Structures are given as structure tokens and as C-alpha cells.
């Protein structure tokens, strides 16, 4: 029976019940009808009453003969307090004190009516729940919205592998949850909202559960996508409910998956404008976030893979002001994740997690979990009693085919190009003075568009930059393309962002900072008057107020600057070709290189300080 038919049957039963109830009520009313006290007195005087009972407020009795309407019983309001004394005079048999008419009423009709109303309410609630309405629409009773709570998730940090940095950051939250009161006293900054940011399937949900599991606190969860297409007010009511329930169980964790579905910046996308449901829900969430004291021991974790579309209000201090990056694993991370999941199936002796990890660049934690499952399935299908390396090989092929279709994996040639490109950035940065040191180089695709990345660690905030510094910065950006040209002899499309950045800097040098000899100390480009309007939005394109000829010179100068810097990057990398090859190979193997290892690789075995190389 489907949900729908079950439902209709429920309504049919309710309707039949209603008809019976009405009939019953009518018949009861016919038998015991209330009559005015004056009528009662008349009947009494005429000697038509057989028996009578009294309570302190009612008189109830039977008649010797039914009235014309068939009525044999009656009730009336008791007016005379001394009433019972005169009954004998009229030959009425006194049946004594009526315990309570209430009890009789209860049995005769109040109970059935209550039962009926209860049944109706229950069915309505079932209906509302099946529609995902929670209790918001039916305001009778306490609503029980679809909030998932696990008293004990049973997940620990050991179950989440390959995301050590994220785990380190979240350990603090665990400590806090273990003794919320002490934490603040000892001067720790109390966490309130932590945003887990990373691509799908990297274990954000798992991490959140692990935090709850480690701290041994209940785990309340809800998904942002559940709020889509809800009736107005229901989403907000559910958020309120969620916080209320969690408060009662604090210390606890509230986990909001897919925060972007609910916390999309107001006024962006198809829901722009209008006071729609999501806006109300988001506002309620903001209210709840602000409305609790972190000492109460409630921590809100949320996950998103699109932090850039979140409403900035969510990221403000005191809300989700901490972000934890949960990235796709590198090779070492994949080995660890594979080990976690291989524990759950029977593995043959020839399986080497290291080799499987080498076969799976770009896989997320969820992909790897899926891989182990798939391999075990293949083994079962060939009736083997353990999963072998061959099963893993076959499973990898299947999954890779699927992932390639979704455009998430690079082929080996592409990986090599990306590795050289990123090392080009890194080596130029290492070789130039006054450039932010390289913190990490990676060829793990990050998001859409970025195939690899090089992170520089700013050493200080800069407000002024010299011409040399700007040129060095450009050289680092051009290093990727220079490396590609040196090694492969051709260029790829992978440098579009780099070129954009470089061109912006060069154009500003020429048109705003007066750094071109040909054009001199003249500002050709006006800053939009942001300091006047207080807006930080780009102003609408304005009229160019210099000559056509000057414009051509600007373009020429921009180009000259970029070409000069590119040549410099080329020379630098050509000179260090051996180091480039060595480090790129290492990067291909390990997928990420950290600052320490990178510096060591770059300087060894031809130890040469970066400063010396710059000359």
C-alpha cells in the first residue's frame, strides 16, 4: 500500500466515525434533553415525574410517560438549594445524589468526541509530516519536526583519515564540549559556529559526527536542502525547534549540512528579492546563532562546498567565524582512508594500499569508500573469499570512467603539465627576494577551474609596494606559464587566471602608479570614487578621458612590462631546469609539497640560497 492510499483509507474511516458520532449525539440529546426549570416545576406539580436525582447544580430524572418527542429523561438546572425535601409530596422516588454529571457526560459524549478530535488531529499531523511540513502548519500540540538526533554517533577521529589539519582544528571543539564551563574560565576562545568547507565526499559529515563521538555528546543534524520548497514559516519554525531541542540536551552539536542551500546570499540567484521562505529561515538561523551563550555548550557545525555564495551575514564574528578546510586527500591521505575502509572487508594478502592510492589521484574519501565496496563486490561475484589487487584494479577502472565523465579527474599528461606549472610558480617565488614564501604546492584539483594551486604565506600586511616588488609578484604568476614553455615547448590554457592577474597589475602600474617611462607621472585611470560613496562595488564603466593615441601607448607599455617580466621568469627557470624536473617529479608522486620539504628539495644538492639565485 502506498502512502497515498493508506492516507485515503484513514480519511474514509474518520468520515464514517464522524457520521456515527453525530447520530449518537442526536440520540443522546433526544433521550436526555435539558428543559427549563419552569417546565420541570410544572411536570412535578402535574405528578408526571417518576424518579429524580440531584447534584449540586443539576436535577436529572425520568418521566412516567414519554413526552410527545419520545423523551423519557430530562435534566434541568437546580435553582432551589433545599429541593430534595419536598419530593415526597409529589410521589417522586428520590434516587439520591448524582455523583457528578460530569462523569456521565464524559462517558456518554465527551469521551467519544475527544477521541474523534484526537484521531482527526493525528491524521492531520501524519499528513503534514509526510509533506515535510513538520508541525508548523498544525499548531495544535508540540510539533515534532524532522530533526535527526543521534545520542551517540559512535564515530571517532580514527574513522576519518587523511584530513589531519581539519582534525587538529576540531580537537579544540571536542575539548570545549567535554567541559564547556571550564573552557571559558581557562581563557580559551569558545567556538560557536565552525564552517567545514570542501568538495563533496571529503568527509565533512563524517568529521562532524566524529567531533560528537569524541566528545560523547548528542548529534543533531538537519540539511539545508530540506528547507527548499517549504511553506512559509515552516522552515523558521523548524530551525527554532532544532535549537530548542539541542539546548535541552546541551552540551551538544548541531550539524547543518549543505548550508549554502539555506544560507545563500540574500538577493543572489533565482530567489533574489521578495521575502521568500528561505530568507525567513536564514533570518531565524541568524537569530538563533546570536541568541545563545557559548557557555551553554552548544556548537554549530555546518558544511558547504560553495562558501563563496554564502550570505556574508553568516560569516560574521560570533557566527560561523571559523572555517576549516576539508580538502581532497593527497596520496598519503588516500592510503590512510583506504586502510580505514579496508578494515571492513576481507582483503587478500597481495593488496597494497599504497599501490591502490597511486592509482587513484583525485579521488575523494567517498570515492575511495565506494572503491573498496566495489572491489569487494567484484570479489563476491567471482566467488572469491577475499578481495584481491586485481579486483581493486578493475574497480578503479570502473570508477575512473564515471568520474572522468563528471570531469573531475586529470589524465596523466595533464597532471604532468599541472605539476610543472605549479612548480614554476613555486621556484620563481623561492628565487626572488621580498616575495611571500611558498607555503604549499599541490596538484589536487580544487573546485571548478583550479587544477592545482600554490599557496604563498604572506609575511606581513602590505600597504605600499615598490616597482620591484610588483614585478616580482608578476614573475611568480608568470612562472607557471614559463615552466610549461620550457619543458613542453607549447602553452596550455591553464594559465588564464595567472595572465589576468598579471595584466591587472601591469595596467595599474601604467595607468595609476605612474611607473611607465613613456607615460610619465600621470594618472590615466581614475579610481572609482569609493571613498566618497562608501560603496565597495565596482562602479559602472566610466568614459575614458584620455586620447586614443594614449590608449594605444598604455596597451603597448602594459605589454612591454609583462613581456620583460616573463623573460625574467623564463631565464630564472632555465637556469634551474634540473631543480624544476626534480621537484616536479616529486610533486607528481606526492601531490602536495609543504614549505620545508620544498625548500630542502630546491636547495639540494646544489645548495644555493634563494637570495644568491636572484642575482
Contact pick of 201, 224, 235, 494 for ligand ATP (by CB under 6 A): 201
Dist. CA 281–CA 263, nearest whole Å? 9
Residue 191 contact among ligand ATP, Zn ion, none, beta carbon within 5 to 8 Å by kind: none
Q: Determine contact, residues 392/371, Cβ cutoff 8 Å.
A: yes
CA angle 603, 608, 613 (to 5 degrees): 110
Residue 307 contact among ligand ATP, Zn ion, none, beta carbon within 5 to 8 Å by kind: none
Residue 242 contact among ligand ATP, Zn ion, none, beta carbon within 5 to 8 Å by kind: none
Helix (H, G, I), strand (E, B) or coil at 347: strand
**Residues in a beta bridge with 33:** 74
- Residue closer to ligand ATP by CB (options 330, 391) is 330
Region of 449 on the Ramachandran plot (φ > 0 left; ψ -120 to 50 alpha; else beta): left
Q: Which stretch binds ligand ATP (CB under 6 A): 14-22, 195-203, 291-299, 512-520?
A: 195-203
Contact pick of 191, 203, 307, 362 for ligand ATP (by CB under 6 A): 203
- What strands lie across the sheet with 322-325, from one edge to the other? 148-150, 219-223, 252-257, 298-304, 193-197, 322-325
Tell me how many residues contact ligand ATP (CB under 6 A). 19
Q: How far is the CB of 543 from ligand ATP (least distance, A)?
A: 47
Location of C-alpha cell 520548497: 229
Residue 519 contact among Zn ion, ligand ATP, none, beta carbon within 5 to 8 Å by kind: none
Contact pick of 163, 353, 435, 572 for ligand ATP (by CB under 6 A): 163
Binding site listing for ATP: 198-205
Q: How far is the CB of 207 from ligand ATP (least distance, A)?
A: 7
Collect all residues with Cβ–Cβ distance below 8 Å to 278 and sequence separation of at least 6. Answer: 227, 228, 235, 262, 264, 271
Residue 161 contact among ligand ATP, Zn ion, none, beta carbon within 5 to 8 Å by kind: ligand ATP
HEC string for 257-277: ECHHHHHECCCCHHHCCCCCH
- Residue closer to ligand ATP by CB (options 177, 372) is 372
Residue 498 contact among Zn ion, ligand ATP, none, beta carbon within 5 to 8 Å by kind: Zn ion
Q: How far is the CB of 421 from Zn ion (least distance, A)?
A: 6
CA angle 208, 209, 215 (to 5 degrees): 95
Hey, what's the cell of 20? 456515527
Q: Determine contact, residues 348/376, Cβ cutoff 8 Å.
A: no
Region of 217 on the Ramachandran plot (φ > 0 left; ψ -120 to 50 alpha; else beta): beta
Residue 399 contact among Zn ion, ligand ATP, none, beta carbon within 5 to 8 Å by kind: none
Q: How far is the CB of 152 from ligand ATP (least distance, A)?
A: 17
Residue 289 contact among ligand ATP, Zn ion, none, beta carbon within 5 to 8 Å by kind: none
Residues 337-356 that bind ligand ATP (CB under 6 A): 337, 340
What is the DSSP secondary structure assignment for residue 107, as one 8-state letter?
A: I
Helix (H, G, I), strand (E, B) or coil at 153: coil
Residues 228-257 that bind ligand ATP (CB under 6 A): 257
Binding site listing: 198-205, 421, 425, 498
Q: How far is the CB of 293 from ligand ATP (least distance, A)?
A: 29
Give helix 204-215 / helix 164-178 axis angle, nearest 10°: 30
Contact pick of 62, 202, 280, 511 for ligand ATP (by CB under 6 A): 202
Among candidate residues 422, 471, 484, 557, the one labeled active-site is 422
Q: How far is the CB of 481 from Zn ion (least distance, A)?
A: 7
Contact pick of 204, 238, 408, 568 for ligand ATP (by CB under 6 A): 204
- Residue closer to Zn ion by CB (options 285, 483) is 483
Residue 288 contact among Zn ion, ligand ATP, none, beta carbon within 5 to 8 Å by kind: none
Q: Report the relative pairing of strands 252-257 and 219-223 from DSSP bridges.
A: parallel
Binding site listing for Zn(2+): 421, 425, 498
Q: Determine contact, residues 296/250, Cβ cutoff 8 Å.
A: yes
How far is C-alpha 560 from the chain's CA centre? Answer: 48
Hey, what's the cell of 323? 572555517
Collect all residues with Cβ–Cβ distance below 8 Å to 179 and sequence separation of at least 6. Answer: none
Does 479 bind ligand ATP (CB under 6 A)? Our answer is no
Contact pick of 161, 256, 400, 572 for ligand ATP (by CB under 6 A): 161
Hey, what's the cell of 390? 586485481
Q: Which stretch binds ligand ATP (CB under 6 A): 364-372, 427-435, 478-486, 536-544?
A: 364-372
Q: How far is the CB of 387 from ligand ATP (least distance, A)?
A: 17
Q: How far is the CB of 495 from Zn ion (least distance, A)?
A: 6
Q: Which stretch binds ligand ATP (CB under 6 A): 27-35, 50-58, 196-204, 500-508?
A: 196-204
Q: What backbone torsions phi and psi does residue 438 show, to the nearest 5 degrees?
A: -80, 125
Element (H, E) at 582: helix 577-590
How far, in Å, are 142, 392, 425 from residue 277 at the CA level?
22, 47, 46
Q: Which stretch binds ligand ATP (CB under 6 A): 156-164, 374-382, 493-501, 551-559?
A: 156-164
- Residue closer to Zn ion by CB (options 240, 481) is 481
Q: How far is the CB of 341 from ligand ATP (least distance, A)?
A: 6
Q: How far is the CB of 340 from ligand ATP (least distance, A)?
A: 5
Residue 337 contact among ligand ATP, Zn ion, none, beta carbon within 5 to 8 Å by kind: ligand ATP
Dihedral of alpha carbons 564, 570, 571, 576, sign? positive
Contact pick of 169, 498, 557, 591 for Zn ion (by CB under 5 A): 498
Q: Determine contact, residues 307/261, Cβ cutoff 8 Å.
A: no
Tell me how many residues contact Zn ion (CB under 5 A). 2
Q: Which stretch binds ligand ATP (CB under 6 A): 155-163, 177-185, 437-445, 517-525?
A: 155-163
Hey, what's the cell of 260? 549554502
How far, in Å, are 27, 50, 207, 376 from residue 69 at the CA level?
12, 18, 76, 82
Residues 366-395 that bind ligand ATP (CB under 6 A): 366, 369
Residues in the chain, total: 615
Dist. CA 205–CA 196, nearest whole Å? 9
Dihedral of alpha carbons 334, 339, 340, 343, sign? positive
Q: Is 594 a catalytic residue?
A: no
Collect all residues with Cβ–Cβ distance below 8 Å to 225 and sequence separation of at least 6. Answer: 257, 258, 261, 262
- Residue closer to ligand ATP by CB (options 328, 568) is 328
Residues 427-486 that bind Zn ion (CB under 5 A): 480
Sites of contact with Zn ion (CB under 5 A):
480, 498
Sites of contact with ligand ATP (CB under 6 A):
160-163, 200-206, 257, 303, 305, 337, 340, 365-366, 369
Active-site residues: which are they?
Answer: 422
Amino acid at each position: 500500500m502506498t502512502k497515498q492510499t493508506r492516507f485515503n483509507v484513514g480519511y474514509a474511516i474518520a468520515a464514517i466515525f464522524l457520521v456515527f458520532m453525530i447520530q449518537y449525539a442526536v440520540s443522546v440529546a433526544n433521550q436526555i434533553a435539558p428543559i427549563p426549570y419552569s417546565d420541570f416545576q410544572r411536570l412535578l406539580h402535574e405528578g408526571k415525574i417518576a424518579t429524580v436525582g440531584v447534584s449540586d447544580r443539576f436535577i436529572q430524572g425520568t418521566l412516567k410517560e414519554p413526552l410527545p418527542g419520545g423523551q423519557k429523561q430530562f435534566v434541568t438546572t437546580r435553582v432551589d438549594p433545599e429541593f430534595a425535601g419536598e419530593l415526597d409530596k409529589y410521589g417522586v422516588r428520590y434516587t439520591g445524589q448524582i455523583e457528578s454529571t460530569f462523569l456521565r457526560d464524559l462517558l456518554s459524549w465527551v469521551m467519544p468526541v475527544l477521541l474523534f478530535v484526537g484521531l482527526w488531529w493525528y491524521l492531520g499531523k501524519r499528513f503534514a509530516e509526510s509533506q515535510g511540513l513538520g508541525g508548523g502548519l498544525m499548531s495544535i500540540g508540540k510539533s515534532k519536526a524532522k530533526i535527526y538526533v543521534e545520542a551517540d554517533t559512535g564515530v571517532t577521529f580514527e574513522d576519518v583519515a587523511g584530513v589531519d589539519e581539519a582534525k587538529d582544528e576540531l580537537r579544540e571543539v571536542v575539548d570545549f564540549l567535554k567541559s564547556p564551563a571550564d573552557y571559558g574560565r581557562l581563557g580559551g576562545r569558545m567556538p560557536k559556529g565552525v564552517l567545514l568547507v570542501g568538495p563533496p565526499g571529503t568527509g565533512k559529515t563524517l568529521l562532524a559526527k566524529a567531533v560528537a563521538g569524541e566528545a560523547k555528546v548528542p548529534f543533531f543534524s538537519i540539511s539545508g536542502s530540506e528547507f527548499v520548497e517549504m511553506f512559509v514559516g515552516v522552515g523558521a519554525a523548524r530551525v527554532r525547534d532544532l535549537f530548542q531541542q539541542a539546548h535541552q540536551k546541551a552540551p551538544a552539536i548541531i550539524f547543518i549540512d549543505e548550508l549554502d542551500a539555506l544560507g545563500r546570499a540574500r538577493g543572489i540567484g533565482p530567489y533574489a528579492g521578495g521575502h521568500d521562505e528561505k530568507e525567513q529561515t536564514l533570518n531565524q538561523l541568524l537569530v538563533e546563532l546570536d541568541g545563545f551563550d557559548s557557555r551553554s555548550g552548544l556548537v554549530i557545525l555546518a558544511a558547504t562546498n560553495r562558501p563563496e555564495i554564502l550570505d556574508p551575514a553568516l560569516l560574521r564574528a560570533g557566527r560561523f567565524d571559523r572555517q576549516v578546510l576539508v580538502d581532497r586527500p593527497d596520496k598519503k591521505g588516500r592510503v590512510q582512508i583506504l586502510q580505514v575502509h579496508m578494515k571492513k572487508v576481507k582483503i587478500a594478502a597481495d593488496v597494497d594500499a599504497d599501490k591502490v592510492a597511486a592509482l587513484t589521484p583525485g579521488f575523494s574519501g567517498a570515492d575511495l569508500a565506494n572503491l573498496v565496496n566495489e572491489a569487494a563486490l567484484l570479489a563476491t561475484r567471482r566467488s572469491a573469499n577475499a578481495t584481491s589487487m586485481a579486483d581493486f584494479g578493475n574497480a578503479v577502472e570502473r570508477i575512473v570512467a564515471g568520474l572522468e565523465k563528471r570531469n573531475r579527474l586529470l589524465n596523466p599528461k595533464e597532471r604532468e603539465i599541472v605539476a610543472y606549472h605549479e612548480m614554476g610558480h613555486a621556484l620563481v617565488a623561492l628565487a626572488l627576494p621580498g616575495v611571500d614564501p611558498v607555503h604549499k604546492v599541490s596538484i589536487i584539483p580544487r573546485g571548478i577551474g583550479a587544477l592545482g594551486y600554490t599557496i604563498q604565506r604572506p609575511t606581513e600586511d602590505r600597504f605600499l609596494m615598490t616597482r620591484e616588488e610588483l614585478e616580482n609578484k608578476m614573475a611568480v604568476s608568470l612562472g607557471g606559464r614559463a615552466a610549461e614553455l620550457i619543458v613542453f615547448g607549447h602553452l596550455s590554457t591553464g594559465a588564464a587566471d595567472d595572465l589576468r592577474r598579471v595584466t591587472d597589475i601591469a595596467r595599474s602600474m601604467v595607468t595609476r602608479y605612474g611607473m611607465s617611462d613613456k607615460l610619465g607621472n600621470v594618472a590615466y585611470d581614475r579610481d572609482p570614487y569609493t571613498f566618497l560613496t562608501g560603496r565597495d562595488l565596482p562602479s559602472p564603466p566610466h568614459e575614458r578621458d584620455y586620447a586614443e593615441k594614449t590608449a594605444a601607448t598604455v596597451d603597448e607599455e602594459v605589454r612591454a612590462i609583462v613581456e620583460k617580466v616573463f623573460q625574467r621568469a623564463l631565464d630564472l627557470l632555465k637556469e634551474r631546469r634540473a631543480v624544476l624536473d626534480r621537484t616536479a617529479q616529486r610533486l607528481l608522486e606526492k601531490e602536495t609539497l609543504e614549505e620545508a620539504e620544498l625548500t630542502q628539495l630546491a636547495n639540494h644538492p646544489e645548495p644555493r640560497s634563494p637570495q644568491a639565485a636572484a642575482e
